[in-house]
Structure 1
Amino acid sequence: MTKCRICFQTETEWDEDNLDEHLLGSHAADETSVRAVYSDRYDRLFEDGEPTDLGDEDDSEPDDSGQVDQIGTSMDDGPAVDDDLLDSAYGKKWYMIGVGGAGNNIMDAILLRKHTLEKNNEDRAMVWRGGLAGYGMLNTNIAELEQTYYAQELKQYSRNDLLPNAIIGFGVQDYSGMGRRWDLGEKVVQADFEDGNPFRDRWDMDPQDIRDAQALMFVHSVTKGTGCGSTPALAERVREEVLSDDYVIDKALLSSVVIPSAEDKFGGRARTNGAVGLARISQTADAVIPFNNERLQDVQGDVKPRIDGIEKYNPPQYTELNKPLVAYLEAFTMSSTPQIVDQDATMSIQGEVFDVSDSFRPVEDKYPLDIDREYNPAVVLAPVLGRSRDARLDKSGLEILVRNALFHNKLSDFDPTTAWGGTFLVYGPEEKMEHVSPYVNDNTLREIIGGEEFLNVDDVSGAESIDIHVSQMVIPYLDDVYLWGALWNPRMPSLEAMYDHAKQLKEEGNSRQAESLRDIWHLVDPLFSCLGRENMA
């Protein structure tokens, strides 16, 4: 019996007579998923992105052996993808760049996770191989770079190799960092671009690979001078010097950023840098994913993946913190991997896929029209990742999974009832997703997420709605069901603490730091004035 690999309904549940008609009748509006999951049928069913009229066309087209099943589906689940395609950057999800000490550590954790999966011959290694178009590391501190897995093992770089390949401010600083000064971090980037384009001429990153990826992601912190000051300037330069300006819609650019807690022990400088860094990166980025160290510490161990060697290359205080962060990005990477992994029935990822832009573009047109802003700020995506080990999930089990994700395993501090909506992905092995899928198809899971205890979709004023997008996927090599989520623009105590401290310093301070804040305050307000449901149009 044939089952649709997008909605997981069997042929007996379809209103249509065959698979082609079902795809056009039930999934024509989700052309991206049809293209990704049924690439062999896509050209026949769509022309220029629009559904075609099948007319009396016979759906039963033989495969190479001449065999077809009862409703025209090839007996073969599809050929394995060519290694050349997997090794190409084109169409893969991310090009990732770790900036500064924190960004280098997180990038190391991602690369070590990829190596762990490959070394153990785990099928999940295909997620990173098929999703990571390329990567790079940049820093102003040569000592931090020298200690990375990237430099020591992957590239085997000496100090002399690192200077041209990974240093920001080559020849214009002493390579010892920016001393928590965001303004200095910005200056050294500008110096790098005065006489050329280091992405093309010097840094160990291929501009074509960056252009070929679906999206570019910067990984960094906002407490020190490099992550806070250099990253926004780098993002601007990527837009201007690397990415094509011929497109009507720009390539997606995201920032995964580690932020200080509301009661951070580092004090005022970290909060001020946080406010400035987030505001400046939000000028260029489409979306910002803030991770809070306090929440990363508190999440349950069931979303901390195995990463061999992380203790050697990450500082002791960050080895456990970076594991759930990597798990979240791995799930995000998985969400559109079906476009390039092989379709062998024993390991194919099946279901709805969403592109990077699907995580933030639906909220962009919810911003008010009548506010005079210096710029349109990035969408803030609050990250959550829940897990259920239940053998068979029913409605009450899904409620527990949602609670686990939105309360126990949220990776930043926020109030879900203040979000503008969100994007969610539920995924797991086929034998468990068979029980979950009906609750997705009849909107039960969406109703649970939107309930009063969670996103509380009925608590909204005005004409706009609180939108919740839920996708589902079968991942054969998992044991449990997971719920990944990105909530849009909720109120976040740690961000409010940054803003309040910076505002007080701007209004009452008599220091150079206060004066520099006053000079750029017109850039700070737009981002923070959009957080919370009350600020939605």
Structure 2
Amino acid sequence: MSEQCQICFASAAQWEADSLEDHIVNAHGGDEPSVRAIYGDEFAYLFGDADDAPEADGPDDTGRNGGDSGGPPAGNGIGDTGGAGAAAGGGAGAVDDEMYGRKWFLVGVGGAGNNIVDAVLMRRDTLSRNHEDRARIWEGGLAGYGLLNTNIAELEQTYYAKELKQYSRNDLLSNSIIGFGKHGYSGMGYRWSNGAKVAEADFADGANPFRDRWDMTQQDIRDAQAIMMVHSVTKGTGCGATPVITDKIREHVLEDDLVIDKAILSSVVIPSEGGKQSEVGGRAKTNGVVGLARISRAADALIPFNNDHLRLASKDITPRIDNLDRYNPPEYVDLNKPLVAFLEAFTMSSTPQLTDQDATMTIRGSVFDVADSFRLVEDKYPHDMDADERPAVVLAPALGRLRSNDINESSLELLARNTILQNRLADFDPSTAWGGNFMVYGPEEKMEEVSSYVTDGTLQSILNGEEFLDSANTAGVETVDVQVNQLVIPYLDDVFMWGTLWNPRMPSLESMYDHAKRLKDEGQTSQAEDLREVWGEVESLFSCLGRDNML
């Protein structure tokens, strides 16, 4: 394998230099913390440390740490229950230069995706302006981000466009529009097939908007631990364009010689039982089925969020996000808070690396990487299912908190109940899940007590119990696996539980599926014909939901 820079991951063929040393000088000479963190003292002499100069033969590949140095950042991921910094100021990105090894590249597609990524960026900047140490979660967690849409008016109203980029309409047309020059820039009108067509048009005749036009750096995408697509499946752009763009990321941006591809996840907002879909005669239900099925072929894992459940959770999970009511539509301000909190907790589940060796915030515990959240589930799919037909793993989200000062088995049962039953962020039946991944975290004094219940299996036993995952109720030889991780997070008052439950039954999705199936079987319209063309993908996804289908 050719030599590769462990800071930017460029291969020797991509360097504008004759050696690794020259590449470090040319490309990273102004970033001493990253060089020292990734290569230790190997190139210290480049920054004036004469005693560390190499022998005449120059540096070799020994002694590199591969980027694993440094401690982790922290934060709470839920609400501002303690430890806020004092005065405002400092601005976004105040700790950016101290970070390396970032976790996510976020791509917000369509109106819902734009609003959610906006909310994440405002949360990051709120923490940074207030000098809160938990700002390190997002500063260390984001490798990059971008917004894409077919509707120029929606883009113009975003925090991203107005505050961060200060873009004009012409700037947005060239940097953020899907289907540039192919439509009128007013959205897709609930037609997912149109969203797919304009996205495909961006890549026609060898074009690559990631390289040539869109405001997203290909190297930042490659450097991220994982990619998170953020969108809805209700309307035409998020439903239709997102699967195409996801496929094109693999085809045009990611390295094509990897044995295992970089993980791509989808945070997807699905239709609620009531609300706007009634205004469009079930179109949102049909789009939901199609959008989930198509993105399940393009992504590795889906995290479905349901507005009805986000609304309930917003009574308990209220992270501070300044300006959210200015840039998010009023009906989504409260709904997006628990969604952002869930993503914030997921971001600290594995540890972005700090080059700041004196950082005061620490996470201690059993962290896990993005791939750990879904790879285990892939082993439970039928061995004879073709890889191209295997749907993404559904990670049903939940997030709860325990305010009690007394940590015992009874209070941990309350925490599990609050998380899995009260604060489900989508409509699912936990007792039908194939298993789940959980993370419990809180301040050191409380986690000392929690830790003993994690170590001796008590918390896992609670989660496996009949009221929650009901792991004893299985048919066949497959087991229901429950992973429990624990973290010590400074500056929190309460203990929190974050969880994803794997491939459970989702009653609201079943209702959408039934509606779409009737239309597919009996309809004589263009919409029905579009459904018939993708029905194999629909069946692949929905046949894997629920423990009865765990093979």
TM bucket (normalised to shorter chain) is 0.7 to 0.9
**1:370 CA displacement:** 4.7
Whether the 8 Å CA contact 1:113–1:306 is kept in 2: the answer is: yes
* Mapping of residues 19-418 of structure 1, within 5 Å: 86-87=96-97, 91-195=101-205, 196-267=207-278, 268-337=282-351, 339-340=353-354, 342=356, 344=358, 346-370=360-384, 375-418=389-432
**1:300 CA displacement:** 4.9
Whether the 8 Å CA contact 2:99–2:352 is kept in 1: the answer is: no
* 1:451 has 2:465 as partner: yes
2:87 is aligned to: none
The SS at the match of 2:303 is: strand
2:19 is aligned to: none
Q: Single out whichever of 345-354 and 279-288 deviates more from structure 2.
A: 345-354
- From 533, 536, 548, the equivalent of 1:519 is 533
Q: Residues of 2 paired with 1:201 and 1:400: CA distance?
A: 52
Q: Deviations over 1:407-434 (max 9, x none)?
A: 1111001110000000000011111101
CA 1:224–1:471: 2 relative to 1, 3 Å? same
CA 1:115–1:226: 2 relative to 1, 3 Å? same
Whether the 8 Å CA contact 2:113–2:230 is kept in 1: the answer is: yes
Q: Residues of 1 paired with 2:242 and 2:504: CA distance?
A: 24
**1:372 CA displacement:** 7.3
Q: Which runs of 5+ in 1 are unaligned?
A: 1-39, 44-77
CA 1:235–1:242: 2 relative to 1, 3 Å? same
Q: Deviations over 1:483-507 (max 9, x none)?
A: 0000000000111111111111000
**1:85 CA displacement:** 10
The aligned amino acid for 1:193 is: F
* Mapping of residues 495-506 of structure 1, within 5 Å: 495-506=509-520
Whether the 8 Å CA contact 2:72–2:363 is kept in 1: the answer is: no
* Mapping of residues 429-468 of structure 1, within 5 Å: 429-468=443-482
Whether the 8 Å CA contact 1:88–1:133 is kept in 2: the answer is: no
Q: Deviations over 1:2-55 (max 9, x none)?
A: xxxxxxxxxxxxxxxxxxxxxxxxxxxxxxxxxxxxxx9xx9xxxxxxxxxxxx
**1:340 CA displacement:** 3.1
Taking every aligned residue pair, what percent have the same amino acid on both sides? 66
The SS at the match of 2:334 is: coil
**1:337 CA displacement:** 2.6
TM-score, scaled relative to structure 2: 0.81
**1:133 CA displacement:** 0.7
* 1:489 has 2:499 as partner: no
Q: Residues of 2 paired with 1:201 and 1:358: CA distance?
A: 34
Q: Residues of 1 paired with 2:431 and 2:163: CA distance?
A: 45
Q: Single out whichever of 389-398 and 332-341 deviates more from structure 2.
A: 332-341
Whether the 8 Å CA contact 1:262–1:493 is kept in 2: the answer is: no
The aligned amino acid for 1:240 is: E
The SS at the match of 1:439 is: helix
CA 1:345–1:85: 2 relative to 1, 3 Å? closer
Q: Residues of 1 paired with 2:530 and 2:387: CA distance?
A: 20
CA 1:150–1:519: 2 relative to 1, 3 Å? same
**1:478 CA displacement:** 1.6
2:28 is aligned to: none
Q: Residues of 1 paired with 2:533 and 2:373: CA distance?
A: 33
CA 1:265–1:257: 2 relative to 1, 3 Å? same
**1:263 CA displacement:** 4.0
CA 1:161–1:138: 2 relative to 1, 3 Å? same
**1:343 CA displacement:** 5.8
* 1:471 has 2:485 as partner: yes
Q: Deviations over 1:214-260 (max 9, x none)?
A: 00000000000000000000000001000111111100000000001
Q: Residues of 2 paired with 1:182 and 1:264: CA distance?
A: 20
Q: Residues of 1 paired with 2:142 and 2:246: CA distance?
A: 19
Q: Residues of 2 paired with 1:103 and 1:89: CA distance?
A: 26
CA 1:478–1:127: 2 relative to 1, 3 Å? same
* 1:423 has 2:419 as partner: no
Q: CA RMSD in A?
A: 2.2
Q: Residues of 2 paired with 1:333 and 1:237: CA distance?
A: 25
The aligned amino acid for 1:306 is: R
**1:172 CA displacement:** 0.8
1:30 is aligned to: none
Aligned length: 463
The aligned amino acid for 1:243 is: L
CA 1:521–1:474: 2 relative to 1, 3 Å? same
Whether the 8 Å CA contact 2:434–2:502 is kept in 1: the answer is: yes
The SS at the match of 1:301 is: coil
Whether the 8 Å CA contact 1:338–1:349 is kept in 2: the answer is: no
CA 1:88–1:208: 2 relative to 1, 3 Å? farther
Q: Residues of 2 paired with 1:509 and 1:269: CA distance?
A: 13
Q: Residues of 1 paired with 2:220 and 2:358: CA distance?
A: 27
**1:394 CA displacement:** 1.0
Q: Residues of 2 paired with 1:177 and 1:112: CA distance?
A: 25
Q: Which runs of 5+ in 2 are unaligned?
A: 1-36, 41-68, 74-92
Whether the 8 Å CA contact 1:130–1:341 is kept in 2: the answer is: no
The aligned amino acid for 2:458 is: T
The SS at the match of 2:413 is: helix
The aligned amino acid for 1:321 is: L
Q: Residues of 1 paired with 2:355 and 2:411: CA distance?
A: 31
Q: Residues of 1 paired with 2:119 and 2:137: CA distance?
A: 15
TM-score, scaled relative to structure 1: 0.83
Whether the 8 Å CA contact 2:94–2:128 is kept in 1: the answer is: no
The aligned amino acid for 1:466 is: V
Q: Residues of 2 paired with 1:237 and 1:304: CA distance?
A: 36
2:34 is aligned to: none
**1:89 CA displacement:** 8.0
The SS at the match of 1:382 is: strand
